[in-house]
Structure 1
């Protein structure tokens, strides 16, 4: 299907030769600029940009959204159907959430103004953490100012050079960076393969002081989920901790959006460390750790990314807290999201599109098979009023280049059906029909 959008090997080589010659004609950059061009990946990035220009492709990234990004968004003074947002339950823009954020600003100002340990603690921080702990049914939780920094600082601080970190090969960059920072022995196992994970754990556990298994509850690139009970059993059998990154699972997976443990009917206390973000379903920004009270107390007084960082902005904490309350009170939002994603996935597969291993919770990839093809397809859809981002090499292998659709509870059936028709038409080389918002 992607053949019409790809480049042959001969054409690709010719393009690279032409671009390389153009770079040589420019000559060396002066002074510091030359040194910056030597940074890892800088030349590859420049080559990719020039290749896109030579192929007549616009940069699909960093497009400014002029309003609230939900099922639709305003880009360039035009309303588009939007599949580029984590606003899974439509709570970013909900009047109740915005009122809660405004009330926090009126009371505390825009910023926490300091580390929470020093002088930045506000009552809304504790209220949010209590609500997150209650959501999981665990003892305690701690909110951080950044989701990415949560994984980096917790993994980097919790584990050390005598320890073992075993993680899924598709784990988020923040987990990989935290594991690298820790100095622990790090082993990646084949994506979602619990048997491969146990084989690695069994072979390497004896020489490690502590062992930690890190998985995601809902993988952001493929939209699939792990067999959580298998990983719990494995952790107990080998005296290891289990950490689950629920960034894309909160409010998405499980009948009422409680996450991967609800999906599998597992007591959340069987997982040692729950991690998540406030920036997706909870329509704010930041991260959290939930679980054992001793762990949370230790992190609160020692994790560098918490102790030495400014506290979470009160308005963001209030927005996340109100979103969590709405999630608990209105589970029908979760049901709508799951119906929409199941419809999208079913129609895509019926149309012969490659959706990989998506489980149909909120994320559905359409695998195109080449980076050039994915970029061209994204642009063709954008021209017709559909915003969906391509995932290109080196983020994924070129053969796995894709469009990644984030579904929302607010998408309509008409939008979903029109989108699938447009994708199929564009991939077939036909001019897509006009898309109605």
Structure 2
């Protein structure tokens, strides 16, 4: 056998071993694979997406779930605005599966702002902003975000995921180190991979481990970036920001905080993790957030120094080569931000109902993991099949809550994930938890 054929044979063997390992993990959860389709096309593995490893694994999971009678929890169709309640299959249900934490998506002022922007600017700005897509509403929104963070400038992107991918991927390179919490969002991981920098995860919220890793590795790299989230969407907990600022200063590193779920949620007036921790906005180098949750739009933003933002505005590929944020979306986000400042009682109501939820859940003996009890509260069931069945049974009882299944989390951590709204009532919380307890 030639060396080329030997290498090819070894590569195929390694691929098959990887697939076999994935299959064993799926089978350990009680699922059995369906028989593969036969094919006479010798080239099908090179020309058919049915042979893609991801697709094959997906079919194993879907067919096994069907065999076990577990309904799919994905792609439920909401027939209107999804807040504390929503309409699914023409049935009004209590909703715990949306990020509409402050009930601003669908608010009359937000809707009107979007309508007015459509009237004035249309539904698309029809070009990248650097070419001819710039509109006054973009600048108004960016100035408002920067002012809220008390930093020099901000920049909005058309996608939250692309915000992290493009920012991290552009700013850092092969001579740099990116060190992040192991639970960081996929967008930050993809951005790190794109950059070509060395990437090292540290144990979730273990800042001693972060400090130790930086002590060991900092001297080998030029720039170093630490990436964490303001509020983790799977577990509902947050890091010690004051300690993170100390660590980043000690090791001459940049600190980036992804506030996708924490902005508008944490802090007495919803200004996010920095308000919760009592830290100045300028103490963090890169603030990132999304426009799709408490800001009721779509897209993402970066806030920080003027030099950071100007660099991204002219050279970040995800901004430079992308169409500008639609004016109605920018207007909706700006109106939402103004309402957050104007009506801080929404944040207080969210905090109050969240605390009520977690206290009642714990009193019933339900496992809420590490959640701090603000907006995001998991109830860990320890089995993907159990979580999927519980979600389906809850929907039958008029409660919409999504299961989080393996491989999104380890099998032992499979859960129902509850997103709270400031408009949820005590009666809805009690009914939901009593129903879940009886089902379990």
Name the TM-score, length of structure 1 as normaliser: 0.92
Q: 1:29 to 1:231 in 2, by over 3 A?
A: farther
Give matches, 1:282-293, under 5 Å.
Answer: 282-293=295-306
Equivalent position of 1:63 in the other structure: 76
Equivalent position of 1:330 in the other structure: 343
Give matches, 1:351-390, under 5 Å.
Answer: 351-390=364-403
2:142 is matched with which residue: 117, 129, 133?
129
| 1:15 Cα offset (Å) | 6.3
1:259 is matched with which residue: 272, 285, 293?
272
CA distance in 2 between counterparts of 1:274 and 1:387 reads: 32
Equivalent position of 1:47 in the other structure: 60
1:79 is matched with which residue: 85, 88, 92?
92
Equivalent position of 1:404 in the other structure: 417
Equivalent position of 1:184 in the other structure: 197
CA distance in 2 between counterparts of 1:43 and 1:348 reads: 38
CA contact (8 A) 2:97 2:400 kept: yes
Q: 1:370 to 1:96 in 2, by over 3 A?
A: same
Give matches, 1:7-406, under 5 Å.
Answer: 16-17=31-32, 19-20=33-34, 23-24=35-36, 26-28=37-39, 35-406=48-419
**Ranges in structure 1 where 5+ consecutive residues have no aligned partner:** 1-8, 428-437
| 1:40 Cα offset (Å) | 3.0
CA distance in 2 between counterparts of 1:198 and 1:12 reads: 39
Name the TM-score, length of structure 2 as normaliser: 0.92
| 1:32 Cα offset (Å) | 5.5
Question: What whole-Å deviation, never above 9, does each CA across 1:40-89 have from its counterpart, x for those lacking one?
Answer: 32211101111111122221110110000000000000000000000000
Q: 1:27 to 1:307 in 2, by over 3 A?
A: same
CA distance in 1 between counterparts of 2:278 and 2:40 reads: 60
Count of aligned pairs: 414
Question: What whole-Å deviation, never above 9, does each CA across 1:297-331 have from its counterpart, x for those lacking one?
Answer: 01000000000000000000000000000000000
Question: RMSD in angstroms over aligned alpha carbons?
Answer: 1.6
